[in-house]
Amino acid sequence: MSALDDTLAADLKNIGTEVGVSDWITVTQEMIDEFAKVTLDDQWIHVDPARAAAETPFGGTIAHGFLTLSLASRMFYDCFAPLPGQAMGINYGFDKLRFLAPVCAGARIRGRFVLSRVRKRSETELLRVHDLTVDIEKSEVPALVASWLGLTVFHP
């Protein structure tokens, strides 16, 4: 049996199971500012703390939704080590993505991963789908939910 087949067999037993919870990440104003520079999205709700405190219901600035989403890669690495025989992992996109609550500057977030689907695409590739929930500490509403597709590529 190959490393891919071993992983597939283990994954099939874990469908519907929470398979990882990341460390907490503090989303700082500095992170938000740097993300704004890189993406050229300098809307004031992200980068002007005084105005955001005065003119929004959030009490200050909020992270870009795509900043929150981009931290999912770090969350994934917190939860999952490379598999035996794995050559690489490739982000394959999303079937569903919803931003449910803003992440305020200074908030802590973490990712929770539930394995929802797995399919053998070839002799070297597994398509694995994780339902991702990004929690905001002390909030009942998550920052986002997503169905995240990833290709796990194994050495031939």
DSSP secondary structure string, 44-80?
Answer: HHHH-HHHHHHHSTTSS-B--HHHHHHTHHHHHHHH-
Question: How do the domains of the chain map onto residue ranges?
Answer: 3-154
How high is the pLDDT of residue 103? 98
How high is the pLDDT of residue 1? 78
pTM score, two decimals?
A: 0.95
The backbone torsions φ and ψ at residue 87, rounded to the nearest 5 degrees and listed phi first, read -90, -40
Domain 3-154, what fold? Thiol Ester Dehydrase; Chain A (3.10.129)
Cα-Cα-Cα-Cα dihedral sign, residues 85, 90, 37, 69: negative
pLDDT in tens, 94-136: 999 999 999 999 999 999 999 999 999 999 999 999 999 999 9
pLDDT in tens, 6-61: 999 999 999 999 999 999 999 999 999 999 999 999 999 999 999 999 999 999 99
pLDDT in tens, 78-100: 999 999 999 999 999 999 999 99
Residue carrying structure tokens 């070297």: 124
How high is the pLDDT of residue 146? 98
Q: List CB contacts of 34: < 8 A, sequence separation 6 or more.
A: none
**Helix, strand, coil percentages in the chain from 3-state DSSP, rounded to 5:** 30, 35, 35
How high is the pLDDT of residue 128? 98
Helix (H, G, I), strand (E, B) or coil at 147: strand
Cα-based torsion angle of the residue sequence 51, 144, 34, 42 in order, rounded to the nearest 10 degrees:
-40
Q: List CB contacts of 38: < 8 A, sequence separation 6 or more.
A: none
Better-scored residue on pLDDT, 1 or 121:
121
Stretch 56-68: mean pLDDT: 98
